[in-house]
Amino acid sequence: MLHGYRGRWAPSPTGHMHLGNARTAIVAWLAARSSRGKLIWRSEDLDTARVRPGLEEAAMADLEWLGLDWDEGPRLGGDHGPYVQSERSRKYQEALDSLAGSGSLYPCGLSRSQIADVASAPHGSTAPFPQTLRARNIASDWWDRHRQSDGAHAIRFKVQDETVSFTDLVHGRCTDHVSSTCGDFVVRRRDGVMAYQLAVVVDDIAMSVTHVVRGDDIRASTGRQILLYKALGATPPAFAHVPLVLDCKREKLSKRHESLRLAALRENGVEPQQIIGYLAYSCGLTESPRRHVIADLVANFNWSRISHDPWVLPDESRLISGLLDL
């Protein structure tokens, strides 16, 4: 590849690092290091209402405790910065201007309830944005009027009637008919904040990212993002969606799982080699759960070994005792 392997780890500073975050980060790190590539840390802090001071630094400390490092990022700098999304507004606006110039965007002043009133029959709450609501006969000067947020209009991307296909490094061939599953989607919110779908695509293009390794809960977004890559004239990266870690009730880990935070496990006497060994085994990268230094796993890393299924944790007491016994 022109740039070699360039991966990225892009957490949002909205919660503490837990075992599920760490598992995906470990896979992203191993994929980059086994390819002798680069790993970028990017802070995705656009959702300012949920961002909490100090969490980015805490996340870095947690992963460094596990033995992970990275080559570019907020502390290290690099040729593709800034590495904090809230500092990249100009890049997002340039992308919006480009998409508007190609006729791919339009303003939408409809509320969620107005959209739901139309979309609720016959599909229910999961219906895509109805094309019947797509703006028509837009005045030639609409982008001049809506280029800056007016607080009343979101900006949507026009989705064509086509099937998007990609080969996931974990799950194999995946397809998405975005017009049926999602419809025209928002790229800038009413309040002027850039939507996740646009921001991550613009950033990955600008940072020359060749491989996106992330949690399986984001796989459903990939079709939309591939459409944006193509609309912006860029080649999409390779994607790998790592299956999630679930709690003993088979629920996705979240901020409420305080005991499964890396910092909490550390306070309970769990060592980084125990967490690395347990999570590597949960992914299918080792044949048994035993202590490992993460560098020892690089040589044998292979995507074909990654499990396709979520990993369900035992209850808290069994998990901690199991980790301590490794």
DSSP state of 256: T
Report how many helices (DSSP H) and strands (DSSP E) the chain contains, helices first.
11, 11
Cα–Cα distance, 211 to 174 (Å, whole number): 16
| 178, 158 contact by CB (below 8 A) | no
Which tokens is 303 given?
Answer: 């995507």
Question: Which amino acid would we find at residue 94?
Answer: E
Could you tell me if residue 78 is left (phi over 0), alpha (psi between -120 and 50 degrees) or otherwise beta?
A: left
The SS3 call for residue 261 is strand
| 197, 228 contact by CB (below 8 A) | yes
**Residue 255 annotated as catalytic:** yes
| 168, 219 contact by CB (below 8 A) | yes
Cα–Cα distance, 241 to 217 (Å, whole number): 8
Cα–Cα distance, 147 to 137 (Å, whole number): 18
Which tokens is 130 given?
Answer: 């109805």
The SS3 call for residue 196 is helix
Secondary structure in 3-state letters for 73-101:
ECCCECCCCCCEHHHCHHHHHHHHHHHHH
| 31, 213 contact by CB (below 8 A) | yes
Show which residues are catalytic. Answer: 255
